[in-house]
Copies of this chain bind each other. A is one copy, B any other.
Amino acid sequence: MELPAAPERSFASDNSAGAHPAVLESLARANHGHVIAYGADDATRECEARFRDLFGADVDVQLVYNGTGANILALATMLGSLPGPHHGVVCSSWAHINVDETGAPERVLATKLIDLPAPDAKLVPEQLAELAHLQGVQHHVQPGVVSLTQATELGTLYTADEIAALCDQAHRMGMLVHLDGARIANATAALGGTPAALRSFTIDAGVDALSFGGTKNGLLGAEAVIFLNPLAAVGSAFVRKQVTQLSSKMRFLAAQFNAILDEGLWLDLASHANAMARELYLRTSCIDGVILDGPPAVNSVFPSLPRPAIEPLRDWCFFWDWDESRDQVRWMTAWDTTVDDIERFAEGVRAVLAAPV
């Protein structure tokens, strides 16, 4: 089979992309002279101020290295803020913390994840309400924190109202709410693309703490845990160190965020990735043999393909399987995906699917 030149960038993951140039420039600017280690530096103070500004509140900001670290720090601190050590974490069975973190939550938190079925990776308040039968019974882990993912692992979105309803239900039952925002920029871009949109589904909705992703959105590697509810943040700095996420040269985590929080670059990058996914959908959903449910909400599409086409296509331009039972794969765009990448990719898909098997 004759295939066109492969796209310059793959559709494997937004983790496959590098860093935005502004991020490297910011690192270079921060790399000047001696500063006190572990966060008592100007870049870190600037970063904290930027996050306070973004959320319009005196939030507690803890910069960390990666998404698993962010989730663990958030959850450990939240669990610690609840009276008693007997609480577990409620999540969707699709949750990254449940599926893709090698049991880091169970290892470091030493508690149970209570995973609930969710076909679209979204929990609903009724599922929380049903957990009431566990409450007060000494034989069961007590639900303590609910962890939602926004955008979800399946590329779906909660509306602000849906998150608010989940927070209401959780709080009525004495639980706290965590938001895993590894792709919070993509979610914000999709839900309005403004700081107000961000606030609508986080602080205004009642979320107590969140993991604010940066790595998948153009950083080299940095995430932030934002504690919106100060009562859920007790000891966060100590816990960050305990879970191995305290950086000595903190200025270099801060500088990365300072670059993309400046003038809304974080939203521009995520909007672009989302737009490229829509473009990818438009260019490929019309190809015979590509089965796609509808346009993507954020920056991933999950097509089913004729099985014999998958390997040749992957060999040509790498991507990951999603659900092998349905011959479903995942194509993901990033902050640096170009229309040219998509055109070439669509051309390749067309070529492989048209080939006689």
Contact = CB atoms under 8 A, between A and B. Distances in A.
B34 A10 contact: yes
A308 B278 CA distance: 56
Contacts of A244: 65-66, 68-69, 72, 104, 108, 243-245
Given A18-B31, A241-B101, A252-B220, A83 B235 contact: yes
A44 interface: no
A141 B103 contact: yes
A18 B33 contact: yes
Given A24-B27, A31-B24, A221-B248, A99 B37 contact: no
Given A24-B28, A28-B24, A106-B106, A84 B249 contact: no
Contacts of A31: 18-19, 24, 220
Given A12-B36, A68-B241, A249 B235 contact: no
Interface stretch (A49-57, A73-81, A201-209): A73-81
Interface string A206-243: 00000000011000110000000000001101111111
Nearest to A88: B103
B84 A234 contact: yes
Given A33-B9, A101-B139, A85 B318 contact: no
Contacts of A36: 12, 16, 318
A247 interface: yes
Contact of A15 (B110, B239, B248, B334): B248
A67 B13 CA distance: 29
Q: Is chain A's binding surface mostly helix, strand, loop or mixed?
A: loop
A235 B82 CA distance: 11
Interface residues of A, number: 80
A273 interface: no
A15 B240 CA distance: 18
A246 interface: yes
A239 B88 contact: no
A108 to B, nearest CB: 6
Contacts of A100: 139-140
A73 B65 CA distance: 15
A172 interface: no
Nearest to A18: B31
Given A85-B235, A215-B249, A249-B221, A37 B66 contact: no
Q: Which 7 A-B pairs have the closest CB atoms?
A: A84-B235, A80-B85, A86-B238, A15-B37, A103-B141, A103-B112, A102-B241
Interface of A: 8-10, 12-13, 15-19, 24, 27-28, 30-38, 65-69, 72, 76-77, 79-81, 83-86, 88, 99-104, 106-108, 110-113, 138-142, 215-216, 220-221, 234-235, 237-249, 251-253, 318, 334
7 contacts: A65-B245, A66-B246, A83-B234, A85-B235, A102-B139, A103-B112, A221-B252
